Amino acid sequence: MLKIFNIRTSKKNEMIDITNKIQEFVTETNISNGICTIMVPHTTAGITINENADPDVRADMIKGINKIIPQELGYVHMEGNSDAHIKSSMIGASEHVIISDGRLLLGTWQGIYFFEFDGPRSRKVYVKLIEG
């Protein structure tokens, strides 16, 4: 089963918690056990799993990744978004989460995030469920 979520970002760099949307999809399908793959078809965005209890973690992640990979570093890519491509490759375009008893098997403080590196934009997130 495949579902495509549309996301509208509002900032250059942004982390959007998509955990509940994905869990709702899992619940709708009645899959008890399996694998959930979350993937973005974009070269300037990513998917990551991280803490969802304290929103300051999101701000710190954005601050940290921007320090490691600054927007301006004399890149030669004509679109001017090379930093976003590098960030996307570092974070990654997908994550896999186990489904157990109809629930995403995440840690107590974990959430699934769409990570924008070149916003604001309209984006897509693909979620594929494999029962088993």
pLDDT, one tens digit per residue, over 62-111 is 999 999 999 888 888 978 799 999 999 999 999 999 999 999 999 999 99
Our CA dihedral for 118, 50, 55, 53, rounded to 10 degrees, sits at 160
pLDDT (mean) for 36-49: 98
- Decide: pTM greater than 0.85: yes
CATH placement of domain 2-131: 2.60.120.460
Q: By 3-state DSSP, what share of the chain in percent is helix, strand and coil, each rounded to 5?
A: 25, 40, 35
Q: Encoding tokens for residue 119? A: 């916003």
